[in-house]
Homo-oligomer: A and B are copies of this chain.
Amino acid sequence: MLIIGERINSSRTPIADAISSRNAGFIQSEAKAQVDAGADYLDVNAGSFIGEEAKHLSWLIEVVQEPTDCPICIDSPDPAVIKSVLPLIKTGVPMINSITLEPARLERILPLIVEYKCKVIGLCQTEDSIAETTEDKVKLAEQLVEKVTASGVLLDDLYIDPLVYPIGTNTESALATLNAIEQIMKQFPGVHTTCGLTNISYGLPNRKLVNRTFLVAAIVRGLDSAIMDPTDKMLYGSLKTALMVMGKDEFCMEYVSAYREGRLE
């Protein structure tokens, strides 16, 4: 289970403030907290600084790499921004978050993924539509697999995000995503699936309960990566327990260790 830590994102006010004021200490404490809590990748995003994204993202990447050698997930839709920050990556295999099936974006980002041997998150989304049904999500996943592997990227480096939309506006939306995860994992052996969790609970009370229940359901259907906050102990506890229930924690050792370290609840 690959955990992509989502906290260093400029859409969060404390992060935007720390970027503006060049508060490296705050960013580094966020980085370390996520790594200590179990992050395998650190997502970094400066997307709210329009016109200045490359400058701020460069600073973030340099600052985050000082206290940790956790690999970086570059979170930007802009091929030019991605290109300008990729040379700053010091350790590990970088990940790009994300490509879609929009041709302009795809055609400019794919060569960078090949050149820098990156992992990449592919969203089930085209330039003019999102996929709401299982069938549409799987169809777009198939196109992502074709495009990405045709460019020379290994299936093992592709993390497909079938996307989840608020269950409050469409009762079937979470189930469509769960079914898509199962089908994608069966249809393309070797590929990975990932998902952001927060969208699903938009507009509902007790959102964290919904998010972590969805995470368990997705793991049961085969999800093997998540974009999440590993410092949320209830969420992390649900993740570790779901993996144990699915037979992926031999002798329950990871569960018991996480319990002893106070990381489950």
Interface residues of A (CB under 8 A from B): 167-168, 171-172, 174-175, 178, 200, 204-206, 209-210, 213-214, 216-217, 220-221, 237-238, 241-242, 244-247, 249-252, 255-256, 259, 264-265
Contact = CB atoms under 8 A, between A and B. Distances in A.
A203 to B, nearest CB: 9
Contact of A216 (B205, B216, B252, B265): B216
Given A213-B238, A216-B216, A217-B242, A247 B172 contact: yes
A245 B214 contact: yes
Indicate how many identical chains form the complex. 2
Contacts of A168: 252
A210 to B, nearest CB: 6
29 contacts: A167-B244, A167-B245, A167-B252, A171-B244, A171-B247, A171-B249, A174-B247, A175-B245, A178-B246, A204-B252, A205-B256, A205-B259, A206-B237, A206-B264, A210-B241, A210-B244, A210-B245, A210-B255, A213-B216, A213-B241, A213-B242, A216-B216, A216-B220, A216-B242, A217-B217, A217-B242, A217-B245, A220-B220, A220-B221
A247 B210 contact: no
B265 A206 contact: yes
Contacts of A221: 220
A209 B17 CA distance: 36
Nearest to A245: B174
A245 B206 contact: no
A255 B209 CA distance: 11
